[in-house]
Amino acid sequence: MSTYKNILILDDHLVVRKGVKLFLNDRFSSYVVYECETFASSLDLLNRISFDLIFLDININGIENVKMMKEIKAIQPNIKILIFSSHEESQYGLRYVENGADGFLNKFCSEEKMEVALHQMFDKGYYYSDVVKDKMSNKTKSKTSSNPLDLLSNREFEVAKLLVNGEGNLEISNKLDLKMSTVSTYKNRIFEKLNVNSVISLADVFKENE
C-alpha cells in the first residue's frame, strides 16, 4: 500500500498557498501537494483525486465555511479538514470543529506547531490545540452555554466581529462577498439575538464574553 498522502490547499491568497506548499515539500517528502484558489476548482479536483487532508481557509469567495465542509465531506467522507485561518483560535476554533472540521490552525503559528498538527491529524484523526480543548472542557462542564455569542451562527459571528472592529455594511459586503441587503439582514439578526440596539452595545457583549 502506498504511503504517499495527497494534500489539498484551498486558499485564495497565492502567498499562503505557496508558503504552505513549500513547508510541506520541505518537511514531508511523502506528501503530494495540490493547491486551489477557488472552491469551484477544489470541487473539480475532489471529484477526480482522492485526498487525505485539505487545508481550508475560513472565507473563500464569500461562501460560508460550514457549507463548504459539508460539500467536501459529501464528495470524500474520509478526508480530514484542517481549518487554516488568520482568525483568532479562541473565537473560531471550537465553532468549526463542532461543525465538521477535524482541526483548526492559525496561519501565524510556528513551523513546529504546524508539524505537530499534521502528525496528529494523521495519527489521531484530529488536531485540537490546548485552546480548543479548554473550550471543549468548559462547554462540557455546563449543560447550557452561558455565553450569548454562542447563539450566533458562524456567519453571524463573522459579521458581528467585523462590526465590532469598525467595519461598515459596505466594507463587510465587499470583504465577505455578500449583498448589502444580506449584511443588513445578518446585522438585524445579531442585534435581535444578543438583545442590543447599537454597535457600541454589541462591542460591550464581545468584551464581556470573549
The predicted model gives 101-114 an average pLDDT of: 91
Write out the residue range of the structural domain in which residue 105 sits: 5-139
∠ at Cα 186 (55, 73), nearest 5°?
Answer: 30
Distance CA 118, CA 69 (A): 19
Closest C-alpha among 190, 210, 188, 186 to residue 202? 190
Q: Of all residues in the chain, what percent carry a pLDDT higher than 70?
A: 92
Last residue of a domain, one of 139, 157, 186: 139
> Do 177 and 94 lie in a common domain?
no
> Do 106 and 157 lie in a common domain?
no
> Do 168 and 109 lie in a common domain?
no
Given this model, what pLDDT does residue 45 score?
Answer: 95
> Do 98 and 58 lie in a common domain?
yes
Report pLDDT digits (tens) over 46-81: 999 999 999 998 777 666 677 889 899 999 999 999
Q: Which cell numbers hold the place of 12? A: 485564495
The pair phi, psi for residue 54, each rounded to 5°, is -125, 130
Closest C-alpha among 78, 21, 82, 75 to residue 48? 75
Q: Which cell numbers hold the place of 22? A: 513549500
> Do 16 and 43 lie in a common domain?
yes
Q: Is the pLDDT of residue 2 over 60?
A: no
Query: Regarding predicted confidence, which is higher, 66 or 97?
Result: 97
> Do 128 and 156 lie in a common domain?
no
The predicted model gives 3-30 an average pLDDT of: 92
> Do 161 and 99 lie in a common domain?
no
Q: Which cell numbers hold the place of 100? A: 465538521
In the numeric block, the cell 449584511 is attached to 183
- What is the pLDDT of the chain when averaged over all its residues? 87
Whichever domain contains 187, its CATH number is 1.10.10.10
Q: Please state the pTM of the whole predicted model.
A: 0.71
> Do 152 and 130 lie in a common domain?
no
> Do 69 and 122 lie in a common domain?
yes
Last residue of a domain, one of 92, 120, 139: 139
Closest C-alpha among 59, 1, 7, 2 to residue 28? 7
Report pLDDT digits (tens) over 136-175: 777 665 555 677 888 888 888 889 989 999 999 999 988 8
> Do 107 and 47 lie in a common domain?
yes
Whichever domain contains 52, its CATH number is 3.40.50.2300
Instruction: Tally the domains of the chain.
Output: 2
> Do 81 and 115 lie in a common domain?
yes
Last residue of a domain, one of 120, 139, 158: 139
> Do 50 and 132 lie in a common domain?
yes
Report pLDDT digits (tens) over 178-190: 889 999 999 999 9
